[in-house]
Structure formats: structure tokens, C-alpha cells
């Protein structure tokens, strides 16, 4: 087993954190205590310590996440904080472990996966009684690392840290990120999978969530026929993460089964809301394997994700998926349902009846349709999408966005400033001037496109005039639904380039800007600009690999 990090000195408010490590207290542990790669059966986790690093240095901390654990921002600047969240020290009450899970990867069962480079430090309970699990990503090998080293590089860690917080401030359900620490060590990675690995700066991110339980945690035990462990994990999850459902492990079998199916329906609902939010802000996850799906309906595992710049339903940011495009933007809603079906299959041995599970899965379709309709109505400045005519209006707009290279974020943001005339046809040239910043190749706006856009604009203007929202309220709603700032791929790469040279200022600037993504921020217009031509094909700015 790794050398145990030294306990932290009692010098900051860190020492006042209260740990209640229910996961390790209530679920079966791996009896093997040595840290080597292996199959782990009959257990939900293996105890393993983080690997100490040579020279940890804090790059950034999210004060909002620190506050969730009753930590002030000053505590984040303390040397003890950096030591703990680099993996060099443990606080009293921490009991680190890595969890066992499996998963379907790109549609195929992959067997045991597990926390290969994530180590859970423990679960903090704050003054409000909220439970927050702390997890280090890139803190060294675990029994689930397979052939990997359990480490992470700075480029992927910057992307994870920034996007976790950016998504939260956009209103998308997500895990959070407390800190980003460099290790002072080099990590060897073959970024392009071309046989030319190179050293890169190492880093560790501390992720924070009420729970990091994934669909794959249930799949692995079902696949192995280990129903006793599966039932214990389901019982724990319901009692800890879904106490409102009132699961009683001592209740009659029929009652327990009824709660489990209601729980599956709630997971479906939460997942649907999350996916609809992704689609509305143009986020593409890139690796929607079942082991990357949260049981709480949170966005988890920020690997080769990306943001739609020119609107293209077939775009995926993941080079591994470049041929099949399984996880492309437009297919994310369908993939989420497919993944939920795999979760239902894992729960079937506890239910032993298909119709209740099918009924629970149907929750997804209705919840997604409602969340999508509500969100897109707000993006268009309508009180609601009412009937087939509104659906057709939206569908035609999305088709127009894809007909020429149109920046989704910039177009919708500019649309908030469109004011229909009291009567008559809208001024097409005036509208094009309003949204012109959103077009990547203005020469694509040919006669046919202009005619089609003019017809849509006339229909949209008439619909706005018929809507009960006032012009002022409509603009307010649209600006609250259409962000000015998102974590564009090229901006993240520029921050990474600077950070690799020891300059963290661009990370800090992006972090601060993305705290208020719906606000105009004078002086930061450059962070709202569309992708420049130089970034069209550059690595890290268009597509990314899973190498991190």
C-alpha cells in the first residue's frame, strides 16, 4: 500500500471539518489492503492512500465550493490546504478509498473499471447537515488503475476545474471542483496516440459532490451475479442520497421493490433535466459511457468535452469517437435513455418484473420533453412553446443555425435584442447586423439562406407580438437563458498554454468571468468572442483525446 500521508497540522479551519464516512462504514470493503491492480469482487471499495507529490502548488480554488464545507477563502491559501488537496496530507477523520464499478463504454460492456485515478478522501457534513464527498483526481494508482499510472496532467485538470464550476454557474446540474494543484512532477502522456509520448506537468483536482455513485456501480455487481452486494448498495444509496423516498430495508419485499422503481423514475427525471440543460447551452460531454453517468443526475467526468461553436448536431469533441460519433451533440438525449436502460437492467434482479421498470423509464421521455420545451421557450423569449406551430418555429431556427456556420451562443444572445415591429415585415438587413457576429463565414449567407431566414423572422416576429410577455420581460428572460460566456474550447486551451508556462492569470480570469455567465462584463468582451480561424483545427481547440 502507498505510504500514508502525514496528518495535517491543526492550524486552520480545515481541522474543524467533520467527516462522516458512511460509504466505507456501511458497505463491504475489499479485504486486500495492498495497492496493486486486480479484480475486486464482493466489495464496493478498496482502501488506498493518495501518492505524495514532490512540490505541490495551488493554482486555483473555488471559494463557493469551499463555503459549502464551511471553509473561508483564507483557508484555501494556507499551505495545509495545498498539502491536503495534493494528496500529501490527511485530515483527522479522512479515510481514503477508491470505488469499484463497471460500465458500458461506447455501447459495449467493459467489465470492471472503477476509480482508476480518483481517490475519495471522505464525506464532510457541514453545519447545515449537507453531505459533501471529497475526491482527488490524479492522486496516484489504485487497484482499479489497470495499466495506467493513476495520475493526471495539467491540461486536463484545468479543463475539469474550470468546466465543473462554469456548468454550475450556468445552472447545469454538476459535480463541483474545490481546488486545482500542480504537483511539481512530470507525467508522461501520448496526447495524440501517435507513439510520441512526452512529459507534461502533473496536477490534482479536488472534486466535490453529494455522491460520486455512477450507474456502473450497480452494473458491476449485477453483471457478476452478486445480488447481495447489489442490494446493499441500492439500500445505502436510497437511504443516503434519496432519503425522501423512505426506503426501509426491513419492509416487505413488495414495498422495497415499489420504492426502487420510484427511485429509478426519479433518476430518469433528473437525468432528463440535466441532458436538456446540456443541449440548451451547447455542451457536448464526449464520453457518455454508463460509468460516467451520475445516480444523482449530475454532470460527471469532464474529459474530452466541448462546446458547440458552429451549430452542428453531428459534432463530437472526442477523437476516439470521430468515426462512429456515438456521443455527438444531437444524440445525447437518446444515449442518456440507453444508459438508463442499462441501469434498469442492473436493477432487474431485485425487481424480477419488467413492466414496473419500463414504466419508470418512460418518465425520462416526458421529463426531457418538458425540460427541453421550457428551456427553449425561454431562449426564444416565449412564455411557453404552445403546440405544433411553435415546435415548427423552433425546428426551423435550428435548421437555419446548421445550414451555415453559426455560433449558437452568440446567435441566441443577440436574439434577445431583437424587437419586432408593431406591424409589417421585419428588417432582414437590420437583423443580420444584429446577429452578424455569430456567422463564421459571412459569404455563406446567400440568396436562398436570406430568403429562408426572412421567412422565419417574419413568423418569429408575429409569434412575439402574440405572446403575453412584455418586451422588457422577454429580454430579461432571454438574457437569463442565453449565456454571454461559455468555456469555449480555444479559451480553455489558451489558459492551459499559459499555465504550463507558470502563468495562472488566464485560469483566474476565466474562472472569475464564468461565475457570471449571463451578465455583460465590460472589459471581458474578448472572452465572449467566437472561435478564431487559427483554432479551427488546433489540438485542444476542436477535438480532444481521452489522454489526460
Strand partners, 135: 120, 207
- Determine how β-strand 6-7 pairs with β-strand 118-125: unpaired
Q: Find how far residue 379's CA is from the centre of its chain.
A: 21
Contact 176, 207 (CB under 8 A): yes
353 annotated active-site: no
- Determine how β-strand 97-99 pairs with β-strand 45-47: antiparallel
Contact 128, 198 (CB under 8 A): no
Q: What angle do CA 2, 203, 69 make, to 5 degrees?
A: 85
What are phi and psi for residue 119, nearest 5 degrees?
-125, 120
Cell of 506: 488566464
Residue of 82, 44, 339, 41 lying closest to 212 (CA atoms): 44
- CA 293, CA 295: separation in Å to the nearest integer? 7
What are phi and psi for residue 125, nearest 5 degrees?
-110, 120
CB atoms near residue 358 (< 10 Å): 12
- CA 292, CA 304: separation in Å to the nearest integer? 12
- CA 498, CA 163: separation in Å to the nearest integer? 17
CB atoms near residue 395 (< 10 Å): 11
- CA 305, CA 296: separation in Å to the nearest integer? 20
Cell of 228: 447481495
- CA 344, CA 351: separation in Å to the nearest integer? 10
Of the residues 80, 115, 226, 291, only one is catalytic, namely: 291
- Which single residue is written with the C-alpha cell 437583423? 431
Among all residues, which ones are annotated catalytic? 291
Amino acid at each position: 500500500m502507498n505510504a500514508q500521508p502525514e496528518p495535517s497540522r491543526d492550524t486552520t479551519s480545515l481541522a474543524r471539518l467533520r467527516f462522516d464516512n458512511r460509504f466505507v462504514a456501511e458497505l463491504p470493503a475489499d479485504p486486500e489492503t495492498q495497492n496493486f491492480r486486480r479484480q475486486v469482487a464482493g466489495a464496493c471499495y478498496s482502501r488506498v492512500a493518495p501518492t505524495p507529490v514532490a512540490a505541490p502548488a495551488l493554482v486555483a480554488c473555488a471559494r463557493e465550493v469551499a463555503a459549502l464545507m464551511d471553509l473561508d477563502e483564507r483557508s484555501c491559501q494556507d499551505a495545509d490546504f495545498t498539502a491536503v488537496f495534493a494528496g500529501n496530507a490527511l485530515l483527522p477523520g479522512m479515510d481514503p478509498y477508491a470505488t469499484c464499478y463497471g460500465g458500458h463504454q461506447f455501447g459495449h460492456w467493459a467489465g470492471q473499471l472503477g476509480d482508476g485515478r480518483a481517490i475519495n478522501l471522505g464525506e464532510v457534513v457541514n453545519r447545515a447537515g449537507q453531505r459533501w464527498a471529497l475526491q482527488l483526481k490524479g492522486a496516484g494508482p489504485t487497484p482499479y488503475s489497470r495499466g495506467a499510472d493513476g495520475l493526471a496532467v495539467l491540461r486536463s485538470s484545468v479543463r475539469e476545474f474550470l468546466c465543473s464550476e462554469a456548468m454550475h454557474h450556468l445552472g447545469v446540474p454538476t459535480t463541483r471542483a474545490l481546488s486545482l494543484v500542480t504537483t511539481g512532477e512530470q507525467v508522461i502522456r501520448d496526447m495524440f496516440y501517435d507513439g510520441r509520448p512526452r512529459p507534461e506537468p502533473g496536477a490534482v483536482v479536488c472534486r466535490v459532490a453529494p455522491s460520486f455513485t455512477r450507474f456502473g456501480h450497480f452494473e458491476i455487481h449485477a453483471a457478476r451475479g452478486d445480488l447481495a452486494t447489489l442490494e446493499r448498495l441500492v439500500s445505502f444509496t436510497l437511504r443516503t442520497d434519496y432519503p425522501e423516498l423512505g426506503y426501509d430495508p426491513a419492509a416487505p419485499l413488495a414495498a422495497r421493490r415499489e420504492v426502487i422503481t420510484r427511485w429509478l423514475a426519479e433518476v430518469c427525471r433528473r437525468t432528463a433535466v440535466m441532458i436538456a440543460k446540456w443541449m440548451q447551452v451547447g455542451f457536448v460531454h464526449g464520453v457518455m459511457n454508463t460509468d460516467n453517468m451520475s445516480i444523482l443526475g449530475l454532470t460527471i467526468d469532464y474529459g474530452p468535452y466541448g462546446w458547440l461553436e458552429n451549430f452542428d448536431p453531428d459534432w463530437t469533441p472526442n477523437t476516439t469517437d470521430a468515426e462512429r460519433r456515438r456521443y455527438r451533440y444531437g444524440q445525447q438525449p437518446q444515449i442518456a435513455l440507453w444508459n438508463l436502460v442499462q441501469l434498469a437492467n442492473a436493477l432487474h434482479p431485485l425487481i424480477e418484473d419488467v413492466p414496473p421498470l419500463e414504466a419508470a423509464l418512460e418518465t425520462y421521455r416526458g421529463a426531457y420533453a418538458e425540460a427541453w420545451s421550457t428551456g427553449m421557450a425561454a431562449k426564444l423569449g416565449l412564455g411557453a412553446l404552445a403546440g405544433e406551430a411553435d415546435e415548427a418555429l423552433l425546428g426551423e431556427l435550428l435548421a437555419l443555425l446548421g445550414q451555415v456556420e453559426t455560433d449558437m451562443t452568440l446567435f441566441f444572445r443577440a436574439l434577445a435584442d431583437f424587437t419586432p415591429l408593431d406591424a409589417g415585415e421585419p428588417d432582414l438587413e437590420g437583423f443580420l447586423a444584429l446577429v452578424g457576429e455569430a456567422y463564421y463565414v459571412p459569404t455563406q449567407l446567400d440568396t436562398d439562406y436570406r430568403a429562408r431566414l426572412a421567412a422565419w423572422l417574419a413568423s418569429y416576429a408575429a409569434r412575439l407580438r402574440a405572446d403575453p410577455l412584455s418586451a422588457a420581460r422577454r429580454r430579461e428572460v432571454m438574457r437569463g437563458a442565453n449565456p454571454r460566456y461559455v468555456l469555449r474550447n480555444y479559451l480553455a486551451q489558451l489558459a492551459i498554454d499559459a499555465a504550463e508556462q507558470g502563468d495562472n492569470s488566464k485560469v483566474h480570469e476565466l474562472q472569475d468571468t464564468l461565475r457570471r455567465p449571463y451578465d455583460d462584463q465590460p472589459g471581458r468582451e474578448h472572452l465572449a468572442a467566437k472561435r478564431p480561424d487559427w483554432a479551427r483545427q488546433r489540438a485542444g481547440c476542436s477535438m480532444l483525446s481521452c489522454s489526460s
